[in-house]
């Protein structure tokens, strides 16, 4: 059942965490949630919504801050378990914990300020001819219980208390989380911390629930339950599309905000390769191999124009890849998919393996790999540009400026795209930037995309297949908008209106009144 304690004995439906570096089973057994248990969690969330949806911004802010405090109180126990289950270094996990608690507190600040509800007021015009205008007041209200799926590659920041959970709770929506089976112990610890925050803040028990499961049945049971009104997901294209399709088949279809595959193309323009090609090659490989390539913003595709400088860039990048070290990937399944993906990609017509790190005897170590192809080959086989999740990248050599632009036009949707160029060169390639703006959610100049700032202006989403809804973001305060909907109140007495819409504006938030913004 939800948030059940870790047990010391196994059953037919139980499983253990696995150390990805060694393949060894970790202490503790976790029970696969039954359909009835998932239904109970969803039904409790629906009951909790009746009360939680009415909580003020200040009350929800206090709850989010309490979650952050409870997570920090877990101390080294959380980091130690996360390292054992993910193989990630403690320094990385310490930073990720800070990101997790930081985004909870950022949403708390956002709620206290309050203007996110987008309050709009059109006051009554009783004497307007030929017809009077009624008093109209609109604001965003919470959707309802949200199903959240933990991600494999961020056991903290995109998992149980990650951005999807934080933004849904901030919007006023109870959450049912499906823990990722790659880090069940980490998920359990964080889930229990959230439950302590629920109790400390006097919130309904169904405000948050955590369920475990290795099978797709558990996740599908969440998506298909009628109490769930939206879903947040970070993972593969296959997984996200399956959830999206299931949600669309429901008698009441619901939105699925799925962040899926992206190769985040990087375009290196000719002049900047002349000036600093060697340094860029090293920085590019460092970005490709960072975290064993297991970031959703990993630059899995690069584009250059054929030249002697491009040849040097490739040589230096190849040397850097050869000198890099394989490391444990997050799960055996991810390692298997990466290995199979590299094998399939290397056999595609026009694709060659330029460089590869030295293989090591290991359980699930990813071998950094750099491949090359031509623009003609890519344009003839767009599958070459598809994501291979892990420490690899494909460099596409274009024969001309026109071919480089043709590659950009044929790209599918991605989370990011980067253009490296000199100041003058970037102006010369303004048409490239215009093309890429239509392909991605975040466009970078002279910087690799593997750092995603949690802030008000961040956009972490993009056209399909990067996400199922290019208008949404899973990082930053705009993520709250996914779990809210506009409601208009017509001719309401002031006493019945939410504080955000009352004439006196007691919360002092910014509102659009008769077409003009004011506080």
Q: Tell me the pLDDT tens digit for each residue of 128-146.
A: 999 999 999 999 999 999 9
Contact indicator for 370, 285 with CB cutoff of 8 Å? yes
Burial class of 269 by CB neighbour count within 10 A (0 to 12, 13 to 18, 19+): buried
Name the 3-class secondary structure at 88. Answer: coil
Same fold, 14-260+472-482 and 266-445: no
Q: How far apart are CA 70 and CA 195, in angstroms?
A: 9
What is the residue extent of each domain of the chain? 14-260+472-482, 266-445
Q: How far apart are CA 177 and CA 163, in angstroms?
A: 12
pLDDT at residue 6 in the model: 52
Contact indicator for 440, 416 with CB cutoff of 8 Å? yes
CA distance to 16, 49, 373, per residue, from 225 (Å)? 27, 15, 46
**Interval 72-81 mean pLDDT:** 98
pLDDT in tens, 315-365: 999 999 999 999 999 999 999 999 999 999 999 999 999 999 998 877 889
**Interval 403-430 mean pLDDT:** 98
Contact indicator for 151, 180 with CB cutoff of 8 Å? yes
- The full DSSP string for 169-228 is HHHT--EEEE--TTSHHHHHHHHHHHHHHHHHTT--GGGEEEE--SSHHHHHHHHH-TT-
DSSP state of 387: -
Give the angle subtended at the CA of 33 by the CAs of 259 and 55, to the nearest 5°.
65
Max Cα-Cα span within the chain? 83
Query: Is the pLDDT confidence value at 152 over 60?
Result: yes
| CATH value of 14-260+472-482 in 3.40.30.10, 3.90.1010.10, 3.40.605.10, 3.30.470.10 | 3.40.605.10
Give the model's confidence band at 2: pLDDT under 50 very low, under 70 low, under 90 confident, else very high: low
**Residue 59 C-alpha from the chain's centroid:** 26
> What's this model's pTM, rounded to 2 decimal places?
0.96
pLDDT at residue 142 in the model: 98
- Answer yes or no: 423 catalytic: no
Contact indicator for 431, 383 with CB cutoff of 8 Å? no
Peptide bond into 229 cis (omega under 30): no
**Interval 42-63 mean pLDDT:** 98
Structure-block tokens of residue 116: 């996110």
Q: How far apart are CA 233 and CA 147, in angstroms?
A: 9
The half-sphere exposure of 378 on its side-chain side, counting CA atoms within 13 A, is 29
Instruction: Identify the CA nearest to 295 among candidates 166, 455, 151, 493.
Output: 151
Query: Is the pLDDT confidence value at 92 over 70?
Result: yes
- Answer yes or no: 316 catalytic: no
Point out the catalytic residue in the list 259, 309, 386, 387.
259
Q: How far apart are CA 87 and CA 90, in angstroms?
A: 9
Structure-block tokens of residue 24: 């060894």
**Interval 301-309 mean pLDDT:** 97
Structure-block tokens of residue 2: 């939800």
pLDDT at residue 434 in the model: 98
The single residue listed with the structure tokens 């323009």 is 269
Point out the catalytic residue in the list 96, 296, 309, 397.
296
H-run or E-run covering 309? helix 308-323
Give the model's confidence band at 157: pLDDT under 50 very low, under 70 low, under 90 confident, else very high: very high
pLDDT at residue 21 in the model: 86
Name the 3-class secondary structure at 494. Answer: helix
Query: Is the pLDDT confidence value at 7 over 70?
Result: no
pLDDT at residue 473 in the model: 97
Contact indicator for 20, 330 with CB cutoff of 8 Å? yes
Question: Hey, what CATH class is 266-445 in?
Answer: alpha beta
- 2 vs 108, higher pLDDT: 108
Query: Is the pLDDT confidence value at 10 over 70?
Result: no
For the CA atoms of 202, 142, 118, 138, the dihedral, rounded to the nearest 10 degrees, stands at -110
For the CA atoms of 310, 311, 317, 322, the dihedral, rounded to the nearest 10 degrees, stands at 170
Overall residue count recorded for the chain in this entry:
519
């Amino acid at each position: 059942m939800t948030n059940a304690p870790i047990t010391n004995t196994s059953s037919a439906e139980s499983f253990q965490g696995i150390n990805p570096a060694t393949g060894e089973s970790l202490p503790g057994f976790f029970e696969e949630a039954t359909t009835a248990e998932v239904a109970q969690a969803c039904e409790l969330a629906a009951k909790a919504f009746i009360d939680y949806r009415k909580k003020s911004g200040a009350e929800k802010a206090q709850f989010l801050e309490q979650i952050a405090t409870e997570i920090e109180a877990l101390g080294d126990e959380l980091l130690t378990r996360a390292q054992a289950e993910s193989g990630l270094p403690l320094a990385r996990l310490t930073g990720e914990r800070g990101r997790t608690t930081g985004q909870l507190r950022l949403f708390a600040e956002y709620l206290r300020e309050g203007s996110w509800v987008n309050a709009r007021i059109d006051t009554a015009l009783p004497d307007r001819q030929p017809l009077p205008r009624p008093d109209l007041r609109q604001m965003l209200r919470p959707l309802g219980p949200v199903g959240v799926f933990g991600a494999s590659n961020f056991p903290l920041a995109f998992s149980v208390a990650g951005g999807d959970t934080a933004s849904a709770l901030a919007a006023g929506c109870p959450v049912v989380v499906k823990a990722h089976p790659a880090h069940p112990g980490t998920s359990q610890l964080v889930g229990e911390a959230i439950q302590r925050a629920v109790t400390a803040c006097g919130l309904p028990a169904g405000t948050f629930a955590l369920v475990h499961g290795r099978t797709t049945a558990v996740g599908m049971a969440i998506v298909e339950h009628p109490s769930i009104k939206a879903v947040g997901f970070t993972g593969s294209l296959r997984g996200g599309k399956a959830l999206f399709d299931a949600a669309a088949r429901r008698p009441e279809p619901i939105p699925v905000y799925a962040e899926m595959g992206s190769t985040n193309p990087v375009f290196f323009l000719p002049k900047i390769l002349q000036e600093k090609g060697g340094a860029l090659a090293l920085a590019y490989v460092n970005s490709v191999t960072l975290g064993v390539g297991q970031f959703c913003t990993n630059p899995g595709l690069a584009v250059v124009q054929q030249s002697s400088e491009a040849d040097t860039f490739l040589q230096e990048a190849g040397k850097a890849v050869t000198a890099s070290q394989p490391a444990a990937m997050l799960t055996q399944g991810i390692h298997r998919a990466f290995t199979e993906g590299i094998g399939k990609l290397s056999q595609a017509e026009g694709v060659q393996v330029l460089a590869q790190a030295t293989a090591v005897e290991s359980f699930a170590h990813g071998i950094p790999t750099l491949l090359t192809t031509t623009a003609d080959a890519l344009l003839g086989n767009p599958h070459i540009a598809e994501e291979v999740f892990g420490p690899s990248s494909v460099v596409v050599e274009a024969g001309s400026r026109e071919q480089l632009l043709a590659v950009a036009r044929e790209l599918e949707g991605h989370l990011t795209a980067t253009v490296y160029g000199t100041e003058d060169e970037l102006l010369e390639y303004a048409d490239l930037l215009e093309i890429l703006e239509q392909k991605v959610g975040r466009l970078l100049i002279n910087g690799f995309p593997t750092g995603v700032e949690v802030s008000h202006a961040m956009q972490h989403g993009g056209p399909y297949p990067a996400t199922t809804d290019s208008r949404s973001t899973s990082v930053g305060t705009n993520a709250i908008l996914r779990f809210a909907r506009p409601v208009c109140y017509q001719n309401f007495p002031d006493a019945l209106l939410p504080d955000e819409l009352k004439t006196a504006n007691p919360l002092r938030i910014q509102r659009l009144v008769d077409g003009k913004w004011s506080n």
